[in-house]
Chains A and B, each alone.
Chain A
Amino acid sequence: MSVPPPGIDPAHGAYSVPPPASKPRTSLSVALEQSRNRLMVTAAMVAVVFSAIGVKLVDATLFNHAAEPRPRMAAEVDAPPVNRADIVDRNGNLLATSLATQSLYADPKLISRPDEVARKLTTALPELDYKDLLTKLSGDKRFVWIKRNLTPRQQAAVFRLGLPGVYFEREERRFYPASNLTSHLVGFTGVDNNGLAGLEQQFNKRLTTDPKPLQLSIDLRLQHIMKKELQTTIDEFSAIGATGIIYDVRNGEVMSMVSLPDYDPHNPTGLDPDTLFNRATLGVYEMGSTFKIFNTAMSLDSGKIRVSDTFDTINNIKVGRFTIREYHPFRHNLTVAEVFQESSNLGSVRMAMSLGVQHQKSFLTKLGMTRPTSLELPENGWPLVPNPWREVNTMTISFGHGMSVSPMHTVNAAASIINGGVLHPPTLLKRDPTVEVPGEQVISPKTSAMMRRLFRFVVTDGTAKSANAKGYVVGGKTGTAEKQKGRSYARNSRMSSFLGAFPMHDPRYIVYVLVDEPKGTKKTYGFATGGWVAAPAVGRIVKQIGPLLGVQPVDEASPEVINATYINTAGQTTPPAPPPPPAQPKGSTVASVPPAGNKPR
């Protein structure tokens, strides 16, 4: 740097010849030398400064990185303009989305006539209170909120007023197009857009970091059908609540989950806790007879009990101060098939007792009944498991009392009983079809096939005839549990449920309905059991969702279906010798087309 640039050199050359040292120093020569030195110093300084400027200039023009931020890149076309990702159902319907809204605020310092501004604002936004607004606007602050999250229409109305001192601020607001329909699943967010319940809470981090929509396994249409039928059932039987689940037994996807009563996720404050309570996952209940599914599967899978074995169902069992008896007493001993079909408590107890306490405990543990399910909801209930697990517990658990699990537990475990014996972890997220579904073999495929027959038997000849949906080969098991009030069971408050599956020759879906405290009606002769309350609802649901799920209706009398689902009370699985060729519907000739109005219904 200190070297003078070449441009200065010639000057240096001109003065560079030093005076001969021998010359006497005259005053003139001293002055000359002095001025020459000064000139040199000045030239050097000028050279240094200019070269510094030159270097900086080169640096600033040619190597200018990060000197000034490169201001703009093209906006990403697919990126949503909001900070929280959408939640969509399995078909891509929006369940939750964020909308950029404008919030209105004012700077009272800049408002000269608060009364006029307040009057104009109240005409544009009628929900504002004039007096309140006036005090806000005449205050001394520099910032007051007038209204948060305006709709575009409201914003336009305020915009048109052209008021000085009134401004908009961009904010985001969570919006749930399906509203109540998925409130228990999706949950809701608070004012600051943080999830406070449901999947919004569970996936808070995922939603705020990954802009891709979160796809659920839920189907909005099924959700609607489920809710509609549950509401009908609640109204019909004056129940206090209900819950329903539709479940894919092949991969553990929850396709619909409704808990009634539900709420509006846009305004979840100030609701009573029962409304916010998710009965499907957080609620744990004594399931009643639906537990006989597991009891029977356990017995058959042990290899010690065959479906044709008979058990004493006449003599009541006395345990301490309790007596275990039948809902409807039987006059004869029943086979395992009949125990399942007629939902016999005594038979179930004797089946469980012949295997022992440990066997039951380990079997139910294997089915995941002793810990919360793997469902992705923060509202995931812990089962109430007896501790210690005594003989009396084994007796009561065999018919579904003395142990409380959530409906999700029941559905998940029942799916493994009928799908060939593989327990898949339940999920609310759509599974990637290319990835293998995790699963664990819990019972043998043979037992599973037998259980399917028993499921179907309950609907064709057992307690759930009303669950039948012609063409869809429904099977299932009813359940009615008396609710525990305090220390004893209340006779008249029940949990009535039905766990249905279809099509039974090749199970695809489970439809589960549980109704909380239904009251019998005239139409049901005062009964409010699972077979009267929940089974018809499941039948109606299956009829509606079958076509949506692409389940092909089959002729239930066809040999393939019969062969796959037949069982009789004796436990025989071969259909009676050549079944008479299914009588062709009388419609084989043209003339027999029935009159249009003449439908039995």
Chain B
Amino acid sequence: MKYKSALFWGGLIAAAGFVLFETSYEVQELEEKLGSLNRKIMVEQEAIQVLKAEWSFLNDPTRLENLSREHLALQPTEARQFVAMTIVPMRPSPTVAPEEAPLPPMVRNQTPGKAPNVATASTGDSVVGGGAIIQGGVVIPASASPIKPAPIKPSAIVPASAKAPPLPSAAKSAPARMVTTGPTEVATKPPVTARTLAPPPAARPQPQQAGFQPPAAPPAQHDSIGLLVARLGANR
């Protein structure tokens, strides 16, 4: 009996010792792992800090402005480019559902070089083509408009004859300004423009076939859009 209990206690002690050692080694291992993870976290955090700084550095407004002047046709938004919601005409009942969602207003089409084949596009537009966009970033031909989903394009509702004659270089700011009305105008009401005015064919040939009917939209529509266009373009 005595022998048995001694054996029992001895066994228990041995088992406890074994478990203790095992746990201790396990803890050591885990702590090493934790340490290395912490070191990695520190390294990552430092890297994040550096990246944040770099991001801010690259987003320096001065630099962004230079870049935008070089590569974009955008200019500061002017007061006249804002319209109240009440002025925006209601969407007409869609005759044909567009297959494709309009591009986000600020997205540039990747093929600016394509000359638009809209009947209303004046010759001046297609002559300048997309090539002129790059130079200096200031002279933006009207043909830059196909790259926006549905730019102001008064030509869609105005007879082609009423359109402006192409301006080569006389008023440098004028063409650029005209273009600027595009994005903002679209930004205010993409769905309307996308569905009532025919999207320029160069941008999306597919829906163009379908969307080409809308010029025959009800005459009442003409008026409200005309008002809108006039506000955006004329009201300075």
Query: Which residues does A use to contact B, with CB under 8 Å?
Result: 61, 71-72, 74-75, 77, 79-82, 93-94, 97-100, 152, 175, 177-179, 181, 220-221, 223-225, 228, 469-472, 543-544, 546-547, 552-553, 585-601
CB-contact partner of B50 in A152, A178, A543, under 8 A = A152
Min CB distance B127 to A, Å, is 15
CB distance from A394 to the nearest CB of B (A): 42
Known: A177-B60, A471-B82, A599-B173. 8 other contacts (CB 8 A): A75-B38, A547-B77, A587-B227, A587-B233, A587-B234, A592-B234, A595-B165, A599-B236
A81, A228, A593, A601: the one within 8 Å of B230 (CB) = A593
Complex Cα distance, B165 from A594, in Å, reads 11
Task: Collect the chain B residues with CB atoms within 8 Å of residue A178's CB.
Answer: 56, 60
Selected from B53, B79, B158, the residue in CB contact (under 8 A) with A469 is: B79
> A220 to B57, alpha carbons, bound, how many Å?
12
B220 CB within 8 Å of chain A: no
Report how far A215 CA is from B124 CA in the complex, Å. Answer: 51
- Which of B53, B59, B223, B229 is within 8 Å of A99, CB to CB? B53
Question: From A225, which residue of chain B is reached at the shortest CB distance?
Answer: B61
Nearest Cβ in chain B — how far from A224, in angstroms?
3
Given A75-B38, A97-B52, A591-B162, decide whether A472 and B235 contact each other with a Cβ distance below 8 A.
no
Shortest distance in angstroms between B167's beta carbon and chain A's nearest beta carbon? 4
Inter-chain contact A547/B45, CB cutoff 8 Å: no
Q: What is the interface of chain B mostly: helix, strand, loop, or mixed? A: helix
6 closest A-B pairs by beta carbon, nearest first, are: A587-B230, A471-B79, A590-B226, A177-B56, A224-B61, A595-B164
B90 proximal to A (CB < 8 A): no
Beta-carbon contacts of B17-41 to A below 8 Å, as 1s and 0s? 0001000000000010011011001
Q: Is the beta-carbon distance between B79 and A546 smaller than 8 angstroms? A: yes
Q: Flag if B41 contacts A77 (CB, 8 Å).
A: yes
B185 to chain A, nearest CB (A): 13
Q: Are A597 and B158 in contact (CB under 8 A)?
A: no
| B42 contacts chain A at the CB level, 8 A cutoff | yes
**A77 to B: closest C-beta gap in Å:** 7
Q: Is B218 an interface residue (CB 8 A)?
A: no
Given contacts A71-B35, A178-B56, A592-B234, contact A470 B154 (CB under 8 A): no
B residues contacting the other copy or chain, number (CB 8 A) = 56
Whole-angstrom distance from the CB of B232 to the nearest CB of chain A?
9
Partner among B57, B79, B226 whose Cβ is within 8 Å of the Cβ of A177:
B57
With A179-B60, A553-B80, A585-B235 as known contacts, state yes or no: A590 contacts B49, CB within 8 Å. no
Of A177, A224, A553, A598, which contacts B82 at CB under 8 A? Answer: A553
B144-174 with Cβ < 8 A to chain A: 154, 157-158, 162-165, 167, 170-171, 173-174
Give the distance to chain A from B59, nearest Cβ to Cβ, in Å.
7
> Which residues on the B side are within 8 Å of A72 (C-beta)?
31, 34-35, 38
- Give the docked Cα–Cα distance between A482 and B64 (Å): 38
Contact B231 A74 (CB under 8 A): no
Instruction: Out of A81, A181, A553, A596, name the residue touching B178 (CB < 8 Å).
Output: A596
Identify B79's interface contact among A99, A181, A225, A470, CB under 8 A: A470
A94 → chain B closest CB, angstroms: 4
Given A75-B42, A585-B231, decide whether A593 and B57 contact each other with a Cβ distance below 8 A: no
Known: A596-B164, A599-B177. A587 touches B235 (CB 8 A): yes
Is B163 a contact of A595 with CB atoms below 8 Å?
yes
Q: Which residues of B contact A99 (CB under 8 A)?
A: 46, 49-50, 53
**Can you pick out 11 interface pairs between chain A and chain B where the beta carbons lie within 8 Å of each other?**
A74-B38, A75-B42, A77-B41, A179-B60, A224-B62, A225-B61, A471-B80, A543-B78, A543-B79, A585-B234, A601-B174
A223 to B41, CA, bound (A): 35
Are B79 and A597 in contact, with the CB atoms below 8 A? no
Chain A: minimal CB distance from B44 (Å): 9
Shortest distance from the beta carbon of A504 to any chain B beta carbon, whole Å: 14
Closest to A180 in B: B62
Cβ–Cβ contact B42 & A81, under 8 A: yes
Q: Would you call A593 and B154 a contact (CB within 8 A)?
A: yes
